[in-house]
Structure 1
Amino acid sequence: MKRHSNTHQLRLITEISMTPFMDLVLVLLFVFLLAAPLLKADKEMLAAATAPAPANLPPATPAPTEKMVLQVNSDLSVTLNGAMMARADLPVSLKQIAGRNPGVGIEVRVHRDLPVQQLVETMQVIEDAGIQKTAVTTHAAAP
């Protein structure tokens, strides 16, 4: 006699659940919707970088022919290339330097504890002297 089991027979499942597939499609859709504007911006930046420069831009300024260091210390004393000078004599000295060498560059070293107004006043003196190439650094103490 043949025995019959009460357990169910295994059968092949031929259907696929669509829920995980739709989740994946929606996630990919959101990713591509977010990435498309970024890719477009990248292409525009690349095109702008490889395009020739517009004609209305001023020519690039050449590097300074001579570099001088103007140091403003915490006690408001001023040194120009290591030589101590009175702050009142600074505009005249800078105009003479700019007259002798129009391509001179000035590195302004300002003590970090000074108010910004001191830097602004120093930069104004440099601009009034006709010097256009400047750099600004701060320092803690005299070297």
Structure 2
Amino acid sequence: MARRTSLVSLNTISDINMTPLMDLTFILLITFIITFPLVEQGIAINLPKGKAADIKDAQTRSISLNLAKQLYLDDVPVSAEELKAEMATIGAAEPDTTIYVRADRKLNYGEVVDIMKILHDANITKMALVTEGE
């Protein structure tokens, strides 16, 4: 005996399913929220621990010194001579600029003092040593 089946016509769905798009948007948002603080300080430096004070100035620059003794001025690699020239320019043109000094905790104290000498010679009076919160 032959079996009778009715052929069902396939209806096409013209609507876009928004649920996967909302899921993707939410995942991207969470990813950016998590990674933004990591991108802000782009140079990987193992900072010393200490209690930090809040310094709020409009004009700030940062000098970073990593364990390989590479100097960075605002995430741009510079030599010691270039740093001296740039700090002299900043000291003359923008004396109210605060300089944040970030150095790896395993560096010798003398390496950080050399950076402080450069800032002192450039007549920069506002400087701060950046530490990791306890």
Q: TM-score, normalised by structure 1?
A: 0.50
The one-letter amino acid paired with 1:73 is N
Q: Report the equivalent of 1:130.
A: 123
How far off is 1:64 after superposition? 4.3
The one-letter amino acid paired with 2:94 is N
Other structure's SS at 2:123 match: coil
**2:107 maps to which of 114, 121, 127:** 114
Structure 1 residues 80, 129: CA separation in 2 closer, same or farther (over 3 Å shift)? same
**2:80 maps to which of 66, 83, 87:** 87
Other structure's SS at 1:75 match: coil
Q: Is the 1:64–1:133 Cα contact (8 Å) retained in structure 2? A: no
**1:100 maps to which of 80, 89, 93:** 93
Q: Report the equivalent of 1:71.
A: 64
Q: Larger relative contact order (C-alpha < 8 A, sep ≥ 6)? A: 2
How far off is 1:135 after superposition? 0.4
How far off is 1:95 after superposition? 0.5
Specify the structure having the higher radius of gyration (Cα).
Answer: 1
C-alpha distance in 2 between matches for 1:64 and 1:137: 15
C-alpha distance in 1 between matches for 2:86 and 2:71: 12
In structure 1, list runs of 5 or more residues that go unmatched. Answer: 1-62
User: Which portions of structure 1, spanning 4 or more consecutive aligned residues, are displaced by more than 2 angstroms?
Assistant: none
Q: How many positions carry a matched residue from both structures?
A: 77
C-alpha distance in 2 between matches for 1:138 and 1:73: 14
Q: TM-score, normalised by structure 2?
A: 0.53
Spell out, residue by residue over 1:12-47, the C-alpha distance to the aligned partner (whole angstroms, 9 max, x if none): xxxxxxxxxxxxxxxxxxxxxxxxxxxxxxxxxxxx
In structure 2, list runs of 5 or more residues that go unmatched. Answer: 1-55
Percent of aligned positions with the same letter in both sequences? Answer: 23
C-alpha distance in 2 between matches for 1:121 and 1:64: 24
How far off is 1:137 after superposition? 2.0
Q: Is the 1:111–1:138 Cα contact (8 Å) retained in structure 2? A: no
Q: Report the equivalent of 2:37.
A: none
The one-letter amino acid paired with 2:89 is Q
How far off is 1:138 after superposition? 4.4
